[in-house]
Amino acid sequence: MTTYVLTAIGDDRPGLVAALAAAVDEHGGSWVDSQLALLAGKFAGIVQVDLPDEAVQDFLSALEGLEAEVGLAVEAAVAEQTAPPGPARALRLHLLGQDRTGMVREVTTALRSQGATIDGLRSWTREAPEGGGMLFEAEAELRLPTESDEADVREALETIAAELMVDLELDAPG
C-alpha cells in the first residue's frame, strides 16, 4: 500500500466529493482521513488515501480526468513516513476582535516563537453588532512541546492581544 495526500479544489457544485470518492474506491483505495471546506464559492479539500501499489498509476491518471469531468483539480503527493511527534500538550486558542490586516501573521509568529504547532485553524469575519464594523474570529488547535512553558505562550499571546485589542482565550481542549 502507498499513502497519498490529495489536495482538491474546484467551483462548488454537487458531486465533487462523490467523484473523488468513486476514483479512490474504483482503484481499491481506502479513504483514511479528510478535511473539506467551502470558501467563497470554491470547494477545497485535503484527503489522505491508501492505495494498492499496483493501482497507483491508474489512480493518478483517473485524478487527471476529474478536472475535465467535474471541474475538480486534484494533486497527489506521496505521504512521507515521519516519526510521530514527540510528547506534547494540546491547547485550544480562540481569538475575537475588530478585523484588521496582519492579525493572523502576528498570532502565528508568536506561536512559532514559542515552538507551538498549529494542528487546525479556522477563521472567519462577521459584522459586529450595531454597525460596529467587521469582527475577525479564529479558533485553533495547538500542540505545544512538553519542554515549552504554557505560561510563556500565554504571555506572548496576551501581549499581541493587547496590541491588536482582541479577546484571546487559551486553554486545554474541552
How big is the chain, counted in residues?
Answer: 174
What mean pLDDT is reported for the chain?
90
Q: C-alpha grid cell for residue 78?
A: 506521496
Q: Please answer whether residues 75 and 59 qualify as being in contact, where contact means their C-beta atoms are separated by less than 8 angstroms.
A: no
Q: Please answer whether residues 97 and 136 qualify as being in contact, where contact means their C-beta atoms are separated by less than 8 angstroms.
A: yes
Q: Please answer whether residues 89 and 152 qualify as being in contact, where contact means their C-beta atoms are separated by less than 8 angstroms.
A: no
> Does 51 score more than 90 pLDDT?
yes
> Does 52 score more than 80 pLDDT?
yes
* Residue percentage of the chain with pLDDT more than 70: 96
Between CA 91 and CA 170, with CA 96 as vertex, the angle to 5 degrees is 20
- Count the Cβ atoms, other than its own, within 10 Å of residue 163: 9
* DSSP one-letter code for 3: E
Q: C-alpha grid cell for residue 65?
A: 480526468
Across the range 90-104, mean pLDDT stands at 91
What is the reported pLDDT for 83? 59
Place of cell 487546525: 120
pLDDT tens digit sequence for 14-48: 999 999 999 999 999 999 999 999 999 999 999 99
What is the reported pLDDT for 45? 95
Q: How far apart are CA 52 and CA 33, in angstroms?
A: 17
pLDDT tens digit sequence for 111-148: 999 999 999 999 999 998 887 788 999 999 999 888 88
Q: What contacts 103, CB < 8 A, 6 or more positions away?
A: 95, 97, 136, 138, 164, 166
